[in-house]
Structure 1
C-alpha cells in the first residue's frame, strides 16, 4: 500500500533546506571509537570545537561528514545514537516551528565556530535531531564513508511524519510492508532523503524512538565482518533492499549504524 502526501514547501536540491547535512554522536568514551570508524569508514579525525562538546571531527578527504563528542556524565548510561542535522535557511524560525508542531528545543539556537547556527531538539515522540544552517555546510558529499540514508525508528510513523513535513517543508510517501510495519519516506524536491519506520510484527524497540544513519561503503558483506573484527557486532545481516545492499552493525560503544552500497 502506498499513499503520497504533500505539504507546501520549496524545492530542495542537495545542500538546500530540509536535506540532511551533518551527523553527530555523543558517547561515553569517544576516543575508543576512533580506530573503529577510521578503519571501517576511512575517516580522518581532527580536533573538534570544544565549545560545542564535539571532541572529534571526521573528514572524508577535505569534506567534514560527522562529529563525535563526550557524553555528559548524566547521559553516560543512555543508549547512544547518531543524530542527523537537517539544514535550514533560518534556524530561529525552524526552532519556533519545532515548538509549534509539538516538539521541543533542548539546545540553542546558537552560533557555531564556522559562523553558522545550530539547534538540537526532539520530535513529539522524543527522538533527537538537529537543525543546522545551510552555510557553510551542505551535504557531506558522496562516496565511501559519507552518510547516505537516515531512518527514524518510532512507534507511530504516520503521526510523526507531519512534524518533519511542516518544520522542514518536506513531502512524503506512505507505505506498509508485508511484515505490517508502517513506513514513511520523506522527500525534498522529489528526492527521497530519509524514512520513518514503525514496528513490524514481532519487533520491539528497546532503545525508544531514535534515528539510525546508513553510511556508504564499498562492500557491505566484507565491512559488516570487519565491524565485528573491530569490536562491534552485526545487528542485521547483509541483504538486498530497495536502495541497495545493506547491513546494520553496532559500534564498540553500542551505537547502531547502517552500511549501504547503492551500486547494486
Structure 2
C-alpha cells in the first residue's frame, strides 16, 4: 500500500479481557509478534507485527476498559480531516464515544458508533505515508458490517464516508459492497432470522490466510469457536470465528483475481 482515501480501512484493534491470552492466541495463529508502546496518559498499548519487533505493523491491542464491555475487534477508517469527518458522523446521527485522542506522534483517533450501535473508529495519521501492512498473509484484507437495518446503514455510511452501495445476490441472499470510487472498501450482511435476536450490529475484520480450512482448524485447536465453518463465497473461502476471549473475526482465502475486483487500496 502507498496511501488511503477517506473511508478506507486503515487499522484494527482488539479490546480484550486477557491481554496475555490474546497475545498468545494470535501469535500462534498468525505468527504475530507483539511489543508494548508507552503512550503517556493513555498507558501501554500493544502493537502486533509480522515476524518480529522490526516487522511491519498489523494491528493493536488494549485491555477492556471495564467488565461490562464485550471483547471485540474495532475497525478504524482513514480520514485526513478528523474534525470534518467526526462532524459528518454527528450530522448523520452517529455517536462520538470518546473525545478525539492524540496518540503519541502517530496521529489522532476517535471511537464512534453508528445509528444501530455498531462501533467503529476514525484515524487521522500524522504521517500519511506511514501505513500498516494489509492484503498480505496474516494481515487484514477486508472489513464487514453485520446490520439490522441495511437501508439505514447505506444512508449513514454514505453520508459519512461517501460510500456507494452495490448489492450482489449470492446463494439466495444479498451482499452489499461499499465502494470508494472504483474500489471496494467494505462489505455488509443483513442480520436476518438466523442471528440471535439480541445480537447487536457490529463490524469485524477479515484476515487473509493461505488456507482457510487449516487456519480455522488451528484456531479451534487454540480455543476459538467456529461460528461459520469454512465456506465457499463469491471471491474465495472464509470462516468466521470467535477467539478464546469472545472477540469475533474471520479468516479468508481469496481466489485468483479477488484483489483486482475487491481490493480497496491504491
Instruction: Normalising by structure 2, report the TM-score.
Output: 0.86
Cα distance in 1, alignment partners of residues 199 and 126 from structure 2: 33
Whether 1:258 aligns to 2:250 is: yes
Task: Summarize deviations over 1:169-209 as a string: whole Å, max 9, x none.
Answer: 222213455545x5421111211121122123433354301
Which residue is 1:239 aligned to? 231
Distance 1:53 1:186, change over 3 A: farther
Distance 1:49 1:108, change over 3 A: farther
Q: Which moved more, 1:160-169 or 1:135-144?
A: 135-144
Whether 1:190 aligns to 2:182 is: yes
Task: Summarize deviations over 1:119-138 as a string: whole Å, max 9, x none.
Answer: 11001111100000144343
Which residue is 1:67 aligned to? 60
Shift of 1:110: 2.2
Q: Which moved more, 1:163-172 or 1:100-109?
A: 163-172
Match of 1:211 among 203, 211, 216: 203
Which residue is 1:120 aligned to? 111
Which residue is 2:46 aligned to? 56
What is the root-mean-square deviation of aligned Cα atoms in Å? Answer: 2.0
- Structure 1 SS opposite 2:7: coil
Match of 1:46 among 35, 38, 53: 35
Question: How many residues end up aligned between the 2 structures?
Answer: 249
Residues 1-264 of structure 1 mapped to structure 2, 5 A cutoff: 14-50=3-39, 51-52=41-42, 55-61=45-51, 62-73=55-66, 76-136=67-127, 137-138=130-131, 140-180=133-173, 182-204=174-196, 206-263=198-255
Shift of 1:213: 0.8
Task: Summarize deviations over 1:151-176 as a string: whole Å, max 9, x none.
Answer: 11120112112211221222221345
Cα distance in 1, alignment partners of residues 44 and 9 from structure 2: 18
Cα distance in 1, alignment partners of residues 6 and 131 from structure 2: 9
Cα distance in 1, alignment partners of residues 197 and 73 from structure 2: 16
Cα distance in 2, alignment partners of residues 111 and 214 from structure 1: 27
Q: List gaps (5 residues or longer) in structure 2.
A: 257-266
Shift of 1:256: 1.2
Mapped contact 1:172–1:184 kept (Cα < 8 A):
yes
Distance 1:235 1:158, change over 3 A: same
Which residue is 1:10 aligned to? none
Instruction: Normalising by structure 1, report the TM-score.
Output: 0.87
